[in-house]
Structure 1
């Protein structure tokens, strides 16, 4: 199944084989074996291109979550083998989770609490695949398979190059950014006044701010993130007419671990921003 997903994403057997570090003939045999087992054709191939069939598109949509669940199963088994003495907390940039982490450590002196920094694209993936026990997430997220505990809301700000026409203003309205390029996933800013013809590349916060400083566009961030990444060539202005960013604690809805419930209560008690 992993071989199939690699070919489906590359739509090129040679590049998929290189990515998988196997020989192309081996990959081709594995795909033929899968097609034989399922009694379908998954790819249409000619000398110029490789395309997914209808059956291939359906398998791809099912295969990705299937592989994620398989990864999560392996991680859960490994976690069970380690015993109940390790707890992993995911957190988004700008969120300060120290107080809740310190409190859970004080309550459970033998517990090892680890932290994992996440980003917009993987803040819920780390829950589904078992890398973390709980994750501080910034909404909106896909809520399927998750339990969410609302924690807080905070203003959102526009990150602008220091020479921007709006630099120096304390607050602005979202419509004032209509002529600017949005340098982040549009799903993160559904209120954006103009949609780009194609989704812009996704960068880590540090990379986004490098592009902002270079005058290539703007990004919208929660206030705590903006304060965390202060730099002299980028300024911010609070956006007055869009909703606050909502932060929740997320965990796998199938888990009934008392430690998760205890940490969720602590997360409510100690704000993260």
Structure 2
């Protein structure tokens, strides 16, 4: 049996929404059409993917397994399509992803000097999609901030840089030359505590409980707006903090928080000489954080 990718995309929409009407709206199709396609996919696979009753729509064990496998499969299909279209162009092209605060100029200058006929494109990424852009083909290679899910990736370390805490300019700690993790234990951290395990562990030890989850904040600009509004603090790599300097927010060195590790990553199965050419240029030039 050949799996119908359209049905698989429909399935993912329902599995993520757990609501047929919302999934149909997201897919811009009628709900009865979506329901028929899901029933057809279940017939193709010989198993039910959803439990449907008055309580709502839930994934069956088979549905959970399909969702786990479907996401990387669909991302691979997207990547394949993008790479084929790129290869069909007259001018070779390399798309490089990068995280905020990281300056790629030394590496891109070195690369284009050795590959003058290549069209280099840059793609700004975030903590949420810095690996996803590699898996779905939006970027060929990316400068990432660890930790990331390294499954299926080639990852080469580049450099480390210190992290700082961003506090409002009027904050009780703002006048200090540095702070400790213990100083910050009672603060409201505007990011996933697991991203700053040193803070998380001290906060749990001192307060006896894990801090409630915070709303997802995707962009650095959003975090700094919240810091300036005195909604909390956040921890950033030094180069990112320097890049986003603003008068109402202060960056403080933190004793007891490890450095951020910056690395180069690409899909391990790729054999493109352009990727390896950029990896060489990056290894030669991106050896320390640049302001």
Q: Same fold (TM over 0.5)?
A: yes
User: What residue is the counterpart of 1:165 in the other structure?
Assistant: 172
Structure 2 CA distance for aligned equivalents of residues 83 and 146 of structure 1: 28
**TM-score for the superposition, normalised by structure 1:** 0.96
Structure 2 CA distance for aligned equivalents of residues 257 and 41 of structure 1: 41
1:241 CA drift (Å) = 1.3
Q: Are 1:104 and 2:111 matched, yes or no?
A: yes
**TM-score for the superposition, normalised by structure 2:** 0.90
Q: Are 1:215 and 2:235 matched, yes or no?
A: no
- The correspondence for 1:228, drawn from 243, 251, 266, is 243
Structure 1 CA distance for aligned equivalents of residues 130 and 224 of structure 2: 20
- The correspondence for 2:217, drawn from 202, 207, 211, is 202
Q: Is the 8 A contact 2:127 2:218 kept in 1?
A: no
Per-residue deviation, residues 61-94 of structure 1 (Å, max 9, x unmatched) = 1111111111111122222222561111111000
With 78-87 and 110-119 compared, the bigger mean Cα shift is at: 78-87
1:196 CA drift (Å) = 2.3
Q: Are 1:122 and 2:139 matched, yes or no?
A: no
Q: Is the 8 A contact 2:134 2:267 kept in 1?
A: yes
With 177-186 and 246-255 compared, the bigger mean Cα shift is at: 177-186
User: What residue is the counterpart of 1:257 in the other structure?
Assistant: 272
Q: Is the 8 A contact 2:144 2:263 kept in 1?
A: yes
1:137 CA drift (Å) = 0.3
Q: Is the 8 A contact 2:192 2:213 kept in 1?
A: no
Q: How many residues align?
A: 273
Mark the runs of 5 or more structure 1 residues left unpaired by the alignment: none
Structure 2 CA distance for aligned equivalents of residues 131 and 51 of structure 1: 32
Structure 1 CA distance for aligned equivalents of residues 153 and 9 of structure 2: 25
Q: Are 1:3 and 2:18 matched, yes or no?
A: no
Q: Are 1:43 and 2:50 matched, yes or no?
A: yes
Q: Is the 8 A contact 2:190 2:232 kept in 1?
A: yes
Q: Is the 8 A contact 1:157 1:223 kept in 2?
A: yes
Per-residue deviation, residues 204-253 of structure 1 (Å, max 9, x unmatched) = 00011001111111111000000000111110111121211110011111
User: What residue is the counterpart of 2:5 in the other structure?
Assistant: none
RMSD (Å) for aligned C-alpha atoms: 1.4
